[in-house]
Structure 1
Amino acid sequence: MCAAVAGVAAVLPLAAYAEGFDTEHIFGFMIGSDVGEVGEREFQSQTTGRFAKDGGRYRALNQEMELELVPAPNFRVELGTSFGAYDINGVPGFDDRRQSAWQGVSVDFRYRFLGREAAPFGMTVALATRANRIDETTAAAVRSYGTELIVAFDREVIPNLAVAALNVSYEPEWTRMPRTGAAEQDATVGVAFGLMAKVKPDVLIGGEVRYLRKYDGIGLDELSGQALFVGPTAYFQLSERTRLTATWSVQAWGQRAGSNAALDLVNFERQQARLVYGLNF
């Protein structure tokens, strides 16, 4: 898919060329190295859907509202709160649930170490921490704390026309069940590649490929499962102050530990989608 996007980008008319990229928000499940200019303030609404597990009916929606601030050069802070909606029926190992509830809060720090204007590529380190009262997968009442560390790289592969990004991530999570006192730890590591190309000065299209591995234990003690997600992404600059990003991803390959199945629908979903709306104020 990414090769096809690059081929399309190479033959686009010169009219598609415009100013350089701002990669902060053009990707869906990934991030770029840009963090915004000092003094910028943005409101962002991010809706993520996850669909289909190993049997039964599984639908999960997460609605996150975020405030993004850039208080210093190359440094961005994001504060967020989220709500979850679930429709789970007949999924092995899951209780049947149909509910909506406030889920939790999050804070995200990003620092750009390298900018594309002065280095061969951009590089940013992002550290996000969240606290949830509803489990993101099962919708059970929990006390969950997670951290996601991402190192993001990007580079314009065709100046002013096509940009590629690489993300490397590590996401440990600690969960406790209030009713029983039981506790568990797990971690997800991933590598993702994305490519976006301008088809108009205010429209970009492309795709993302993500490879994820989930482990029991935050020290990557035992592999639980792995999955490869592939899908398209589109970015629209709606106006000078507003933007919209839409992405959809399907599990093209996966394997649960101890299983010969072609997909891992226990640790991951069959399909994932995300819609992000942003307003600069």
Structure 2
Amino acid sequence: MTDSDSAEARLLTPVDVRRLAERLGVRPTKTLGQNFVIDAGTVRRIVRVSGVGSDDVVVEVGPGLGSLTLALLPHVRRVTAVEIDTALAAALPATVAAHAPGLADRLDVVTADALRVTELPGPAPTALVANLPYNIAVPVVLHLLELLPSLERGLVMVQSEVADRLAAGPGSRTYGSPSAKAAWYADVRRAGAIGRNVFWPAPNVDSGLVELVRRPAPTTTATRQEVFAVVDAAFAQRRKTLRAALAGWAGSAPAAETALRAAGVDHRTRGEALDITAFARIAEQRA
């Protein structure tokens, strides 16, 4: 199968989105972080930038009314859509059947909270492509990267500030716990900006695209949980030196200093200066 011989999908227009929402009695809620994409050019751009192809199995979180789902289906082997809203999840197969009848068999819909999913049906996903609800974007990305080692890459649309935090490197003012934890799994970078007028309702914030490319976790004798515990401690009091910030983790400030020296890290450094491999070295030194 190639893109040229795939069945086509008629993408949703702004009128389609509003009619679907009205028919389903759906009113976008801040609680679920619902902002539906109404611009066909934007979903085409997301698919293009994601780099997915005919062999990919895509997991999409928060498909909503199906704008991005319809854009993905002609280009990939399969889409597994995870939707917490029961009304939206129930309606998605019918929307796909109406707008892309030749592609309906490529869709699986899972009615679930993406943060609580423990397995997905069908073949192992190779890519994450999603317009993520802003209020849970970081934990969803981290959860799926951990749950699905088959994920080779991802492209997610998130709040612009969240995109900055995920893609930040050590030394940046936006570098923090999300940046370090994402770096455990992947190389992360900003992949573009998205304006507010492509959504309904229009959010009060700008959005950004974040690209993730899976790479091996750091080589360490510490577990991921042990490394993340150091990350959490370091950034819980990010203005303090690591000697002070890690005192609770190590048992005392002198014990933290000893662990830091053994890891080859200056105890006067702050967490924002360290990459994930340095956090892993520190985790190895806990007495």
Question: TM-score w.r.t. structure 1 length?
Answer: 0.27
Higher strand share: 1
Rg larger in structure: 2
Higher relative contact order (CA 8 A, sep 6+): 1
Question: TM-score w.r.t. structure 2 length?
Answer: 0.26
Higher helix share: 2
